[in-house]
Each structure stands twice: as C-alpha cells, then as structure tokens.
Structure 1
Amino acid sequence: MSRRGTVEEKTAKSDPIYRNRLVNMLVNRILKYGKKSLAYQIIYRAMKKIQQKTETNPQRSL
C-alpha cells in the first residue's frame, strides 16, 4: 500500500488563440528545450497556410 495520496488527473489546457486542447497538446509535442513560444509560432503559421490553401477551418485537419 502506498504511503502517498492518490494523484488527481490533470486535464490539458486550451491554447490562447483557437481555444482548443488538441492544439495545445500538439504544441507540447513539438516543444523542444522549453521554447513554447517558438512551438506556438510554428503551429500557428502552419494552420494559417492550411487555411489559405484549403479555404477551410484548419482545426478540421487535426
């Protein structure tokens, strides 16, 4: 039996622009050496290009 208490399950927070948990989870996967702002820039640029080329909502492709 463990001496420590039970751990509460953490939920992923949503990103500031799209308000989507999946986008934030994707940013955390791309994150390298703690540069979260750079990871956000990469994701947002990619989504902007998807939106320009397909003229649809880029979140549908996630």
Structure 2
Amino acid sequence: MSKNCPICKKPRAEEFTPFCSSRCRDRDLAQWFGDGYAVPGRPASPDEIAGEIVREDRD
C-alpha cells in the first residue's frame, strides 16, 4: 500500500517524497515557518529562552 501526499492526498512522487510535488513541499515548509506546526512540550519562560541564546554564543 503506497502512502499519499500529506498535504493534498494525491499519490506521492519519488522526486518529492513524501509529497507529490514541489508545490506541496513548499506549502509544508511555509507551515513550519508560519508557526502552523508545533512540537508539543511545556511553554518556555523568557528566562529559559534568553539562557539558550547566551549558551549558543559561548560555543
């Protein structure tokens, strides 16, 4: 059983797997950039976010 494109449900194209086309691939990427998707977890406090930025600068 082959899976379909997660965006439009058409059959997948090998070139764009798991999507059917570059259009659906780009729509999915736009969802990530536009905060349309989220990874579940507890909300971070502003202090935790600032601490992550400081640690990354030290590396």
- Does the pair score TM above 0.5? no
TM-score with structure 2 length normalisation?
0.34
Larger Rg: 2
